[in-house]
Structure 1
Amino acid sequence: MNVIDPTLDTEDPNEPSSKPPPEVSILRLAYLNKPEIPVILIGTIFSAAYGVILPIFGILISRMIKTFYEPADVLKKDSRFWALIFLALGLASLLICPTRSFFFSIAGCKLIQRIRATCFDKVVCMEVGWFDEPNNSSGSIGARLSADAASIRSLVGDALAQIVSSFASALAGVVIAFVASWQMAFIILALIPLIGVNGYIQAKFMKGFSADAKMMYEEASQVANDAVGSIRTVASFCAEEKVMQLYKKKCEGPMKTGIRQGLISGIGYGLSFFFLFSVYATSFYGGAQLVAHGKATFADVFQVFLALTMAAVGISQSSSFAPDSNKAKMAAASIFAIIDRESKIDPSDESGRTLESVKGNIELRHVSFRYPSRPDIQIFRDLSLSIQAGMTVALVGESGSGKSTIISLLQRFYNPESGVITLDGVEIKTLQLKWLRQQMGLVSQEPVLFNDTIRSNIAYGKGGNTTEAEIVAASELANAHKFISSLQQGYDTVVGERGLQLSGGQKQRVAIARAIVKSPKILLLDEATSALDAESEKVVQDALDKVMVDRTTVVVAHRLSTIKNADVIAVVKNGLIVEQGKHDTLINIKDGFYASLVQLHTTASTSQNL
C-alpha cells in the first residue's frame, strides 16, 4: 500500500521517465476483435455507404444547378424532384450514420472489455517484486485499466469508421470525376495530396506529446489514489493543502503539454482548411480555362469539382482524429506492455508437483537475497534455518533485519538469489505455486479486508468455496464468532473499505478466521498483535494459541510476551541467524544479542522492538 507521508518531500516531477514501451500493431488489436468480425463488417459496409454520400451530394448539386437556368414551369417541376432527392439523401444519412456508429461501438466496447479482463488477469498474476517498481503503483495500473483501455476504443470505433468512410469517399469521388472530365480530375487530384501531407505531419507532431501527457497523468493519478486511500493519514497531519498542491504540481505538466498539443492541433486543422480552399481556388481557375477552350462544359466542371472536393472534405475530417489516434496507440503500447510481460513467479501456472500429505518441515539452506527494487542492499547472506513440523519458531531481530522477508520467501513472493528453501525435503520452486500457498495461512500486522461482508472476507481464504459451517467453525476458533453475532447484520455486515468499520482487534480476528478456514498446515504470523492494545492483544493471542496447535508456525513479533513461549527463537542480524534456541537458553548467554534485546525491553518497561 502506498501512503503519502506529508512530512517528506516528493520526487522531482521533471525527472526523466523510463523508456516508452514499443508500439502495438493494429493487426494485433484486430486479432483481439476477431469474435466481432461480423459486426465490424456490417459497420464497414455502413461506413462505406456513408462515405459515398458526400460525392453523390456533389453530383446532385451539379445537376441541380442547371435547374435555375430553365423555364418557370420546368424549374418548378425539377425543384420538387430535386427537393425529394435531397430529402431521401438526408434520410439515408440519418439511417446510415447512427447504424455505423452502433456496430463499431459494439466492437469497440467488446475490445475494451476483453483487453481489461486480459490485462487485469496478467496484473494479479505478476510477481510481488513487479509491484515494487514505481511505474507499477496502484494509481498507475488503475489509470491503465480505466483510461488507457478506453482510449484504445478510438482505434476500432470512430477512427476506423472515419477511415473507411474517407476511403469510400475518395474512391467514389475519383470515379465520378474521371467519368465527367479527366482533365479537370487530374488538376484537382494533383492538389489534394497537400491536405494529406498536412495531416501526416500533424499526426507526427502529436505523437510525442501524447506519450508525455500520458506519463504525467499517471503520476497525477497516483497522487490522487494515494491521497484518497490514505485520507485518514492526510487528515491527521492536516496535509490537505499539501496534497492539493502536490496534485496541482503534477497536473501542471499535462496542462502545458495539452496547451502545446492544442496549438499544434489547431494550426494543423487550420492549415487543412487553408489547403482545402487553395484547392477550391485553383480548381475554379483550371475549370474556367477548360470551359473557355471548349474542353469541358459548365456542368462537367461543377460535377468534377464538387465530387472531388466533397470527398476531400470527408478525408480532411480524418485529421481531427489524429490526437485521439496517437493517444490510443500510446495507450495500447502501455496496456500490451503488461499483457506481454511474463510473470517471474506466476500463481496461475499449474505446472509443478504437489505432495499427497504435508507434515510442515521447512528448511532454508544458505539463502542469499536482495529485493529487486533495492539491488544494492543485501538482506540475507548465507542464511540457514530449520523448522521442524508442528513447532513454533519465533523470528527476532532489529527492525529491517529481514524477519518479514523470510515469510515472503516462504510464500514465494520472491525467489532467493542463491540457496534452497524446502518443504518436507522438496524445494518449493518445484511445487505448484497455488497449491503451496494454499498450505499456508498468513496473518499480518495490518490485515487488509475487502469492502464486502464478513462472511465473504472469511470465505476468501478458501477461494470462496466455503460452507457456512466452515465459516462459523473458523470464526469460533479465532474468537470472532461472538462479536460477529452481536452485530446487527451478523456475518452479512459490510466491513467498509479496508475494514474500517471494525476495530483493530476485530479485523485481526476476522483475518485469523480467513487464514484458518482453509486449514493450513503452516501458519505465518507477521507481527499479528503488535498494533493492538493490551485487551485486544489478549483476545487475539488466545485465538492464535488455539490455531497454532498441531501446526508449523512461524512468528515475527516485537513483544516479549508473544515469543517467549515459542519452541525455538531465531535471532536475525546482518542477514544471518546469529542465535537460535529456547527463551530460557538464549537469555542466559552472556553478551548474547537476544539477551541484550530482552534487557533493553525490561529496562524500558514497555514493548520495545525485539
Structure 2
Amino acid sequence: MGGVINVLAKFTGDTENKEFLSQMSHPALKLIGMYLGQSVFTFFYIFMLTNLGEKVAYHMKSDLFKSVLKQDIAFFDAQRTGEIVNRLTSDVQDFKSSFKQTISGGLRALTQIMGCTVSLFVISPKMTLITLLCIPSVIAVGTVFGSLLRVISRKAQAQVEKTTAVADEAIGNIRTVRSFAMEDQEGDLYVKEAEKTMVLNEALGFGIGLFQAGTNLFINGTVLLTLYLGGYMLSSNQLSAGDVMSFLMAAQTIQRSLAQISLLFGGVIKGLAAGARVFEYINMEPSMSLKGGKTIPDDILRGDIEFKNVTFAYPTREKQVILENFNLLVPSGKTVAIVGSSGNGKSTLVALLERFYDVNNGLITIDGHDIRTLDPTWLRRHILGLISQEPILFGTTILENIRYGKPEASDEEVIMAAQNANAHEFITNFPRGYHTMVGERGATLSGGQKQRIAIARALLKDPRILLLDEATSALDAESEKIVQSALDEARKGRTVIVIAHRLSTVRNADVILVLHKGNIVEMGSHEELLKLKGYYWALTYQQHQQPKAA
C-alpha cells in the first residue's frame, strides 16, 4: 500500500501521466495478490477452526458424561441434577464458543500484531519505540482486571447452575407442583435465583466494558500520536508519504487487533471459568471403580449372602449411624423378608448389597467373597436383580425398557420375561403392543403396569439374587395381588431379600426379620412372630387396627 501511495504522490498534479499505469501496476498487482491470499487463508482457518471447536466440544461432553456416570452414588446424593446437566450443556457451550472466538480472533489478532510490529520497525524504528513505550503499563492493568473478572465470572456461572437446578426440579416434578398448587412459589423462587444471576452478569459486563473502554482510549491515543510524529517526520523529509501511510495502516491494524483482543477478553474469562468447572468433574475420580475385580464361575455360584459386623452411615450425614455391628446370613435359595418401621435401615441393606455405598466397617460377602473384591459391573449385571418401590422407566418403548435388563436379548426373550412378570397380557392390549411409548418416566402407565415392566426387566437377566425393595407398597390392592403373584413366580430357585413395609407381602417368606434402629430384634416365620406379641405383632396391629390374637 505504501508503494501505491508513493506512485500516487509522484504523479500528483502531473498532466503527463503516460508512465502512471506502468509504475502503478507492480504495487497494485502485489496488493491484489495479498488480498487473494488473505481470502483463501480466511476460508481455510474458519473452516478448520469450526471443525476443531466442534470436536473439542464433542470430546468434552463425552468425557464429562462418562465421568459423571462413573461417580459414586454419594456424589449424586450431594449434587443436584440441574447443576450436573448445566455443566453438560451451558458450560460446555460457553467453553466451545470462547474457544472458537479466542482462537479465531486471537490467532488473527496476534499474527497481525507481530507482523505489523515488524513492519513498523522496518519503516521507522524511532516512531515505533515511542509508540510502544506505553504498552507495559496497559498489560499490567489488564492482568489485574482479568483476575478480578475471573472471580466474578465463576460466581455468575455457579449462580446459573442454581437457577437451572430450580427449573429442573420444578419441571421434573410438575405433577407434585401442580397437586400442591405451588406454581406461584416455584415461579417466585426461580425469579429470585434468576435475579441473582442477572446482578452478577451485570457486574461482569460493567467490568468488561470498563476494560474495553480504557483499551480503546489507549489505542486511539496511539493513532493520534502516530499521525503527529509521522507528519513531523514527513515535513523534515525523514519519511516519504508512502512510508507514513504504511506506518499508519500498520498501526491501525495493530489498533484493530488490540481492540479485537479486548473484545475477546470477556469471552476468555467466561470460557476459562466454564472450562474449569467442566474439567473439575472430568478429572474427578470415584472412590469405587465400576469395573475390575474377580467373578464367581456360574457352576459354583450359589447365592449365599452374609453381613458380618457391618457398620454404616451415609456419606452426606456421617454422624447418623444407620447400621452398627449388623450381622445377617441369607442361605442360597431362601427368601428372607426384612420388616420394620421407616428409617430403621431396611433399604440401606439393599443399597449396600448393590454396592451403591461401601460399608464403614465389617464386610458383606456373596458365597464367602467380599463384594468389594468382586467386579461391580458383573455383580449388578448378572447376579443382582433389583426391583424398587418406584420403578423408573425410560421415555422409549416397552420393548426397550424391558430389554434394558439385557441389551443383547432377543424379542422372544423379552416376551418370555414379560409373561413371567404377568405383564404380557396388558402389553398386548395396547394398540402398538410392545412398541408402545411409555412417556417420560413411564408417565402414561399405571403403577401396577410400571412395576410389572420393572419386574420383567429384572427377570430378563436371570439374576441369582433378587432384591425387592418395597416392590408393592405403592400399589392398590388389586394391582398388588397381580404383582405379588408375579414376584412369587420370580422368587423360585433364587436367593431373595424382601424389604417390606406392608406385612401382607411377607407372609410366605422362609424367615422374617424385624429391624429396629439398625438391629435385628426378632426373627422367625409369620406365625412364630405373631405368637411372640413383640415388634412384629405391634406392626401387624398398627396395619389392621386390631391384634390378630384377639
Normalised by the shorter chain, which TM-score bucket? over 0.9
Q: What is the SS of the residue equivalent to 2:53?
A: helix
Q: 1:296 to 1:60 in 2, by over 3 A?
A: closer
8 Å CA contact 1:176–1:307 kept in 2: the answer is yes
Among 387, 406, 414, the residue aligned to 1:443: 387
Within the candidate set 431, 434, 437, 2:377 is matched to 434
**Paired residues of 2:541 and 2:547 also in contact (CA < 8 A):** no
Q: Write out per-residue CA displacement over residues 276-299 of structure 1, whole angstroms, 9 at most, x where no aligned residue.
A: 111122222323343444433343
Shift of 1:421: 0.5
1:123-161 Cα offsets, whole Å, 9 max, x none, are: 11111111111xx22111111111112222245422022
Matched, 1:145 2:84: no
Residue 296 of structure 2 corresponds to: 354
1:445 and 1:64 mapped to 2: Cα distance? 88
Counterpart for residue 115 of structure 1: 60
1:123-272 matched pairs, under 5 angstroms: 123-133=68-78, 136-154=79-97, 156-193=99-136, 195-272=138-215
- Percent identity, aligned pairs only, is 36
| AA matched with 1:458 | I
> What are structure 1's unaligned runs of at least 5 residues?
1-56
Higher alpha-carbon deviation: 277-286 or 502-511: 277-286
The AA in structure 1 aligned to 2:254 is A
Partner SS, residue 461 of structure 1? coil
Corresponding residue to 1:389 among 332, 341, 357: 332
Matches within 5 A, 1:508-527: 508-527=451-470
Runs of 4+ with >6 A deviation: 78-88
1:427 to partner: Cα distance: 0.9
* Aligned counterparts of 2:326 and 2:96: Cα–Cα separation in 1: 51
Give the aligned residue type for 1:131. F
Matched letter for residue 318 of structure 2: P
1:157, 1:239 → 2: CA distance?
Answer: 42
Any conservation in 1 of the 2:312–2:321 contact (CA below 8 Å)? yes
SS in 2 for 1:465: coil
CA contact (8 A) 1:192 1:279 kept: no
For the structure 1 residues 409 and 450, does the alpha-carbon distance in structure 2 shift closer, same or farther, using more than 3 Å as the test? same
Aligned to 2:286: 343
TM-score normalised by the chain length of structure 1: 0.84
AA partner of residue 102 (structure 1):
F
- What SS is found at the alignment partner of 2:392? coil
Offset, 1:557:
1.1
2:418 and 2:68 mapped to 1: Cα distance? 31
CA distance in structure 1 between the partners assigned to 2:3 and 2:210 by the alignment: 33
Assess, with a 3 A threshold, how the Cα gap between structure 1 residues 186 and 497 changes in structure 2: closer, same or farther. Answer: same
Deviations 1:329-370 (A, max 9, x none): 1122111111212111222x2233434332111010111100
Equivalent residues, number:
544
Separation in structure 2 between the aligned mates of residue 331 and residue 72 of structure 1, nearest angstrom: 64
CA distance in structure 1 between the aligned counterparts of 2:440 and 2:519, rounded to whole angstroms: 39
CA distance, structure 1, for counterparts of residue 507 and residue 278 of structure 2: 50
What do the CA deviations read for 1:168-227 (whole angstroms, capped 9, x no partner)?
Answer: 212211221222222122122223445544543443332111100110000011011111
Residue 496 of structure 1, aligned match among 423, 439, 455: 439
Q: 2:542 pairs with 589, 594, 600, which one? A: 600
- Report which stretch shifted further, 335-344 or 444-453: 335-344
Query: Equivalent residue for 2:47?
Result: 102
Q: Partner residue of 1:12?
A: none
The aligned counterpart of 1:586 is 529
Letter in 2 for 1:451: G
Unmatched 5+ stretches in structure 2: none
TM-score between the two structures when normalised by the length of structure 2: 0.93
**1:312 positional shift:** 2.9
Q: Secondary structure at the match of 1:565?
A: coil
- Cα RMSD (Å): 2.4
Contact between 1:202 and 1:322, CA under 8 Å: does it hold in 2?
no
Structure 1 counterpart of 2:247? 304
Given the superposition, is the C-alpha separation of residues 543 and 310 from structure 1 closer, same or farther in structure 2, using an over 3 Å criterion? same
Deviation at 1:164, TM superposition (A): 2.0
Separation in 1 of the partners of 2:400 and 2:225? Answer: 73
